[in-house]
Chains A and B, each alone.
Chain A
Amino acid sequence: MAEYSAFSLLKNALTGNKDWKPAWRKPDPKASYDVIVIGGGGHGLSTAYYLAKEHGITNVAVLEKGWLGSGNVGRNTTAVRSNYLLPQNTRFYEHSMKLWENLSHDLNYNVMFSQRGCLNLAHTPAQLDDYARRGNAMRHLGVDAELWSVDRIKRLVPALDVSGSARFPVLGGLMQPRAGTARHDAVAWGYARGADRRGVDIVENCEVTGFLRDGGRITGVSTTRGEIRAKKVALAVAGSTGQVMQLAGISHMPIESHVLQAFVSESLKPIVDTVLTFGMGHFYISQSDKGGLVYGGDLDGYNSYAQRGSLPVVDEVMSEMLALFPGLARVRMLRSWGGLCDMTMDGSPIITTGPLPGMYLNCGWCYGGFKATPASGWCFAYTIAKDEPHEFNAPFTLDRFYRGLIIDDKGQGANPRLH
């Protein structure tokens, strides 16, 4: 398949763009594979890509119940960052960041990763110290972090209200300059194309309806397109984890599925040139290359599979937005949508072998899954290929909850809606 480049664009333009080939094939599933990855979202596709690229395992199928990328990879607010407090998270997300930094070249697909920074605003001296703790934790792991003054923040985002008269005045912020945003759909498509080019079968409209077993061992799946056998079956189904695990006879998980809303405004000339978070509530915002302000807030706060949001959260998010940007009251919200978040009991993910023989599990991304996409697939592929975790995902076990080895970046305990 042709490489993408300025040259190929020009060449194809001269022939009326008639010669472009599908970005990925539409194969029918084979009877068996070495590895089946359930879930054609960002994590499933990147897992397949790295299985092929890093481990030479190409006899792989990715099974997607709907259209490729229909889950959270196409529903998030596109922020990429590695500004965590706890070292287990920071190491993992920094690995992801490094993969992001070379991802467009790696995939030969422009995922538009734009390192315009991520700035957490602080509104009290105690919060500033809290952010300093986190920033210093990052720096001690070799990750970039800076404390920014109000003046510097104002220069970067002139529309921000930094006046002392604000209800929660901005006192400073924690900046990660290498953070930024990426074009979310392109990440799914780029990984799909990359995996496909290495021989992976990506099978859309193929819903898993059950697991095939040999004794206690998982040996394949039954699907709406027939039975498919595999030596290894890997789950990367995010918000649907509970339902798919149920098919394997596991009724309880340390996970609740919640809905998170996201919003985009009408397209505007550039006004927010970074990813910005509010410190006295739950609000984050960036601006897409098309000009839409992309923003969101807290979970709706109850179990849901509806991908449909509630009105009070809409009001809350907009109120917090105007607390930061009182000049944007006349800007208009154009579109809203909801994504399903598989919220764990400590806010950190699970990438592990098991819990059944022949099964591998990747879930619990809460609402941080997009930025994890490269490292999640990379670590999951390693775990599937080697039957043991890489050191980056070794802490993210399923049994860590029972053992008290919790990784609770927010310190909220076993209350998923608060992570």
Chain B
Amino acid sequence: MSPRRAETGGRIDRLRTIRFTFDGAPYTGYAGDTLASALLANGVTLFGRSFKYHRPRGLLAAGVEEPNALVTVLRGEVREPNIPATMVEIYDGLVAVSQNRTPSLAWDIGAINQLGGKILSAGFYYKTFMGPVIGPLKGTRFWMFCEHFIRRAAGLGKAGTAPDPARYERMNAFCDVLVVGSGPAGLMAAKAAADQGARVILADLEANLGGSANWSGETIDGMPAADWAQRLAAQLAGNDNVRLLPRTTVWGYYDGNTLAALERVTDHKEVAAKGEPRQRYWAIRAGTVVLATGSFERPLVFPGNDRPGVMLAHAAERYANEYGVLPGQRIALFTNNDSAYRSAVALKKAGAAVVAIVDVRGDVSNEMRRLASDAEAELLAGHAVIATEGGKALTGLKVQRFDATSGVLSGDERSIHADSLLMSGGWSPTIHLASQAGAKAEWDPARQAFLPPKPTQRWTGAGAFTGSFSTAEAIAEGRAAGLQAAGGAASSAPLPVVEAAPGDPDPAPVFEIKAKGKSFVDFQHDVTAEDVRLAHREGFISVEHLKRYTTLGMATDQGKNSNVPGLAIMAEALGKPIPEVGTTRFRPPYTAVSIGSLAAERFGDLKPERLTPMHDWHITNGARMYSAGLWYRPMIYGLPGETVEQAYVREARATRESAGIVDVSTLGKIAVQGPDAAEFLDRVYTNMFSTLAVGKARYGLMLREDGLAFDDGTTWRLGEQEFLMTTTTANAGKVMQHLEYFLDVIWPELKVTVTSVTDEWAGAAIGGPNARAILASCVTGTAVDNATLPFMGIVHGQIAGVPVMICRLSFSGEMAFEVYSGAGYGTRVWEALIEAGKPFGLVTYGLEALGTMRIEKGHVTGAEIDGRTTARDLHLDWMLSKKKPFIGSAMMDREGLIAPDRLELVGLIALDNRPLNGGGHIVEELDEANPHASLGHITACCYSPALGKHIALALVKGGEARHGTRAFVSDPLRNRFGPVEIVSNHFYDPDGSRMHG
């Protein structure tokens, strides 16, 4: 069926055919295929287009490091862009499309960029697009004109805008040993640790545990390595103390041995099972981590190394052994080390013709010569590939004699006909997590690779991760690491026996063949060896400058393929050893992580909603709700056809004429208790509380340490040693922390406890001329007359059989009472009050009317206590006790805080009888065309039914001195300009006769 699928072999399920589409064309593959292996089996060679030049690209790799074959996976309207085809497991109905091409992969108009050639060298955009210095395109205009087209040409996949219906889940996990990577080293480590009784988590980013054992073709303990691995994995799965996490990428190594991992739970399924999230985000706190993350094979840098058909050698081996797919029929290899010989033999076994092995080393060992002859390949030792041929698929290559020491090419060029060229430039241990954990990698000149740093957190390494590239070493190191991690003694028991092809792990230090043509270092970003040398010429020689100037290593593979070759080319240009160029520290994530998984349960549910006990009543009774921080509060209770303004004016007027009731449950409430409670409040508030009688309340003001106003509210003395403090809704949490800090850190000798009781109490404020009569008609167990309940007095009684606490205090300026009951009875008390109010025409009112009445009274809230104002600015200096120190008292009189040009609280009346806006500014002289010289701003405004005017509170320079003068509101943002009169902030009933009754 498939041009490239071998008759037998691989670990796919040939009995299960899977149907999918790529770029609209239908294909089939087998269960166990990736999108990459299935397309390759179907003879597809062209998988993507590069970022800058839109060059045709095929598969480079078989795993997570694939830079070229990026696709977008579609699920209905939902798009998942930039996924390597090598990481997509096919399922029936999979729809994948290619990216960054117009109109199609085969014919991409963006390929015209290739004609730009040397003009589009590294960093060219810093040198041009600046445009003319004068004229209509001066400044940033010309650049932005060019940028418009650049932005559209750049970018890889297209993100979706349809909300993702998927669910994401977070798990917090704890274990003694976390093993990352399930190749032979990781499996052995997990087994050894589990046998010690440790709680073990074994995670691997691939679908099948086993790592390289799945495709190495080696034999372990007399059985195929893949079978050995499956048997070991099955044993581990049977252990209660082991959790296996396939398809799970450990992507972040954070402080305190906390590791972050992403499990792809259902991405490989056509339909998720009930309750399954799409992905699961694991935060794993591990006692010890065993890093068995393996290594990456490096590409070689030579002209034409990006042509579709040029692939990493081990990737081809993996396609053949794991998926039964051959990357070509006539295969050539190009290598600087021994590992490619094993690949050659594997491909030969799988049925391909291996036409040549081109080895940069003149001196090839007899063992390798034997492997070459096993593969029936011509061995071209001391040769190098200098060019590749073909268009969108490879047809051949050119080789020339090469001296690995000098890098000099010589002799005749020779052409070799091949449809696949496999390269091996040596191996780089996958040290990313170790680097994230906080130390610098070390260069090993023999391995020509960065090896893991010394651990700075509790981890240990095993296998190829440490630079031990053979399976036998991996097995030994894995067991030792597992035992060590679990606190077990070293074992002398026999290890599994490995039969593997021989090979020297050290490559020749050759990274680049310098010949004519574009040689790619970073495939996705089209960074060439010449670009690296240009960076060198222009002085961008440190590794970070190299990266940033050329974009080397910034693509989606994050330099997994390009990092070391790029450094090597720079090192050669500098004439310095590689480690002196430096290595970048790896940062999370190891591979890209979906944003949905990181939000997890908070996707679609960002923050909790805080609801008062009477919330449902408000909704049922037509309240329009207002979101205030996390709280929801009634804004108005609108009648049919009413505007917001009509509603609040009606509510406020009715309250002043008869009575109104408002839900004040959101106010912060803190129980302050203990023998030193009164002393503590004296220190916290600017005014005295120790003199407050039991059964009375007092309005209090707090400053911050720096002397600025912090919060205000009433505090009730319920007993000799017991107070109930109220705070503003917005500052409840901050005030609580402030009090706790002082009690715990500054004054631990004070015998006081503070407890947040905001959620324990429901509060209703009922005010207006008839408020007392309403209360009298429904409260039992106490009188509410002036003698029993004077201004700022507190009584206990019952309403509808519910114990309540009533304090006579007023925010509205009317005779008013706050009625507190247990939160669970809030609605019952509320309804009883409403019922009792019916004969009096009691209205419910919301935040708008509350705000209106407070503006009329000139009370301050968070709009005025905004963290920049002082007590004096707000005319609250009468509350600053001179008899005692309090928090902020020593700092409040500093020069800047008493300066004459500070903003002070005033009232404003609109003289043009039009509405004012919050945030409008105040000026002395109006200049609509060129607003300037702001004196201050409006903090709150309303239409005042009591005054019949549009009024506002404002913070204005000069403040009180301007009372009675005329100014202008200047609000260019909303085009509202007009005259205002500056007056006192106490608009209504300034002597308080109404509330004192």
Q: Which chain A residues lie closer than 8 Å to B598 at the CB level?
A: 314-315, 318-319, 333
Q: Which chain B residues lie closer than 8 Å to A414 at the CB level?
A: 704-706
Query: Is B155's CB under 8 angstroms from A136's CB?
Result: no
Query: Is B919's CB under 8 angstroms from A129's CB?
Result: yes
Give bound CA distance, A334 to B558, whole Å.
8
Of the stretches B35-43, B821-829, B873-881, B928-936, the one at the interface is: B928-936
Query: Is B606's CB under 8 angstroms from A167's CB?
Result: yes
B108 within 8 A of A: no
Known: A110-B125, A268-B81, A268-B159. A330 touches B544 (CB 8 A): no
- Chain B interface (Cβ within 8 Å of chain A)? 51, 78-82, 117-119, 121, 124-130, 133, 138-140, 143-144, 147, 150-152, 154-164, 166, 168, 170, 252, 254-255, 258, 260, 283, 438, 530, 534, 537-540, 542, 544-545, 548-549, 551, 554-556, 558, 587-589, 592-596, 598-600, 602-607, 609, 626-628, 704-708, 863, 866-868, 891, 894-897, 917-921, 923, 930-934, 937-938, 970-974
Look across to chain A and name the residue whose beta carbon is closest to the beta carbon of B705.
Answer: A414
Give bound CA distance, A274 to B588, whole Å.
26
Q: Which chain B residues lie closer than 8 Å to A129 at the CB level?
A: 863, 917-919
Query: Is B933's CB under 8 angstroms from A110's CB?
Result: no
Pick from A128, A183, A270, A332: contact of B594, CB under 8 Å = A332
Known: A17-B530, A110-B126, A404-B707. A333 touches B143 (CB 8 A): no
A355 within 8 A of B: no
Query: Is B155's CB under 8 angstroms from A268's CB?
Result: yes
State how many angstroms separate the Cβ of A156 from the closest Cβ of chain B. Answer: 14
The 7 A-B residue pairs with the shortest CB-CB distance, nearest first, are: A411-B867, A132-B919, A129-B918, A329-B596, A291-B155, A404-B896, A404-B894
Q: Which chain B residues lie closer than 8 Å to A169 at the CB level?
A: 627
Pick from A289, A327, A405: contact of B151, CB under 8 Å = A289
Give bound CA distance, A180 to B918, whole Å.
27
Give bound CA distance, A134 to B918, whole Å.
11
State how many angstroms separate the Cβ of B268 from the closest Cβ of chain A. Answer: 15
Give bound CA distance, A142 to B530, whole Å.
48
Interface range on chain A (Cβ under 8 Å from partner): 35 or more
Query: Is A269's CB under 8 angstroms from B558's CB?
Result: no
Query: Is B539's CB under 8 angstroms from A22's CB?
Result: yes
Of the stretches A97-105, A237-245, A371-379, the one at the interface is: A97-105
State how many angstroms separate the Cβ of B616 from the closest Cβ of chain A. Answer: 19
Look across to chain A and name the residue whose beta carbon is closest to the beta carbon of B927.
Answer: A140
A380 within 8 A of B: no
Q: Give 12 pairs: A residue, B residue, CB < 8 Å, sorted on A.
A: A21-B537, A136-B970, A147-B974, A180-B140, A268-B156, A289-B147, A320-B606, A322-B602, A329-B166, A329-B168, A329-B599, A411-B866
Of the stretches A4-12, A217-225, A381-389, the one at the interface is: A4-12
A32 within 8 A of B: no
Q: What number of A-B contacts does a CB cutoff of 8 Å give? A: 351
Q: Which chain B residues lie closer than 8 Å to A413 at the CB level?
A: 704-706, 708, 867
Look across to chain B and name the residue whose beta carbon is closest to the beta carbon of A278.
Answer: B606
Pick from B118, B707, B868: contact of A17, CB under 8 Å = B118
Q: Which chain A residues lie closer than 8 Å to B588 at the CB level?
A: 309, 314, 336
- Chain A interface (Cβ within 8 Å of chain B)? 4-6, 8-10, 12-14, 16-18, 20-26, 66-70, 74, 87, 101-102, 104-105, 108-116, 123-126, 128-137, 139-142, 145-147, 158-159, 161, 167-169, 180, 183, 185-186, 189-190, 204, 265-271, 280-281, 287, 289-291, 306, 308-311, 314-315, 318-323, 326-337, 400, 402-406, 408, 410-414
Query: Is B606's CB under 8 angstroms from A323's CB?
Result: yes
Query: Is B923's CB under 8 angstroms from A140's CB?
Result: yes
Query: Is B918's CB under 8 angstroms from A133's CB?
Result: yes
Give bound CA distance, A23 to B548, whole Å.
14
Known: A109-B126, A124-B626, A129-B919. A114 touches B147 (CB 8 A): yes
Q: Which chain B residues lie closer than 8 Å to A322 at the CB level?
A: 595-596, 599, 602-604, 606
Look across to chain A and name the residue whose beta carbon is closest to the beta carbon of B78.
Answer: A330
Q: Which chain B residues lie closer than 8 Å to A167 at the CB level?
A: 605-607, 609
State how many angstroms separate the Cβ of A218 from the closest Cβ of chain B. Answer: 29
Q: Which chain B residues lie closer than 8 Å to A126 at the CB level?
A: 628, 863, 918
Query: Is A327's CB under 8 angstroms from B595's CB?
Result: no
Query: Is B154's CB under 8 angstroms from A290's CB?
Result: yes
Known: A159-B159, A310-B255, A327-B160. A332 touches B128 (CB 8 A): no
Identify the interface centre among A21, A139, A280, A410: most chain B CB within 10 Å of its CB.
A139
Look across to chain A and name the residue whose beta carbon is closest to the beta carbon of B917.
Answer: A132
Query: Is B895's CB under 8 angstroms from A331's CB?
Result: no
Q: Which chain B residues lie closer than 8 Å to A102 at the CB level?
A: 138-139
Q: Which chain B residues lie closer than 8 Å to A267 at the CB level?
A: 51, 82, 154-157, 555-556
Pick from A9, A17, A268: contact of B128, CB under 8 Å = A9
Q: Which chain A residues lie closer than 8 Å to B974 at the CB level?
A: 132, 147
Query: Is B82's CB under 8 angstroms from A332's CB?
Result: yes
Give bound CA distance, A112 to B923, whole Å.
38
Known: A141-B932, A268-B81, A413-B867. A9 touches B708 (CB 8 A): no
Give bound CA distance, A5 to B119, whole Å.
11
Q: Which chain A residues lie closer than 8 Å to B143 at the CB level?
A: 104, 110, 112-114
Query: Is B537's CB under 8 angstroms from A405's CB?
Result: no
Give bound CA distance, A161 to B606, whole Å.
13
Q: A280-B606, A289-B150, A290-B51 are in contact. List 20 more A-B contacts (CB 8 A).
A: A9-B124, A17-B534, A126-B918, A136-B934, A136-B971, A180-B140, A266-B157, A267-B156, A268-B81, A308-B587, A314-B260, A319-B599, A323-B606, A327-B161, A330-B596, A335-B589, A336-B589, A404-B707, A404-B894, A414-B704
State how many angstroms separate the Cβ of A260 from the closest Cβ of chain B. Answer: 14
Q: Which chain A residues lie closer than 8 Å to B921 at the CB level?
A: 133, 136-137, 140
Q: Which chain A residues lie closer than 8 Å to B161 at the CB level?
A: 158-159, 271, 327
Look across to chain A and name the residue whose beta carbon is closest to the beta carbon of B867.
Answer: A411
Give bound CA distance, A161 to B554, whole Å.
30
Give bound CA distance, A333 to B590, whole Å.
10
Give bound CA distance, A18 to B609, whole Å.
63
Query: Is A22's CB under 8 angstroms from B537's CB?
Result: yes
Look across to chain A and name the residue whose beta carbon is closest to the beta carbon of B937.
Answer: A133
State how many angstroms separate the Cβ of B554 from the closest Cβ of chain A. Answer: 8
Give bound CA distance, A110 to B593, whole Å.
32
Give bound CA distance, A131 to B919, whole Å.
7
Q: Which chain A residues lie closer than 8 Å to B438 at the CB level?
A: 306, 308
Look across to chain A and name the residue whose beta carbon is closest to the beta carbon of B604.
Answer: A326
Query: Is A22's CB under 8 angstroms from B126's CB?
Result: no
Give bound CA distance, A183 to B154, whole Å.
15
Q: Which chain B residues lie closer than 8 Å to A16 at the CB level?
A: 118
Query: Is B919's CB under 8 angstroms from A130's CB?
Result: yes
Give bound CA distance, A95 to B674, whole Å.
56
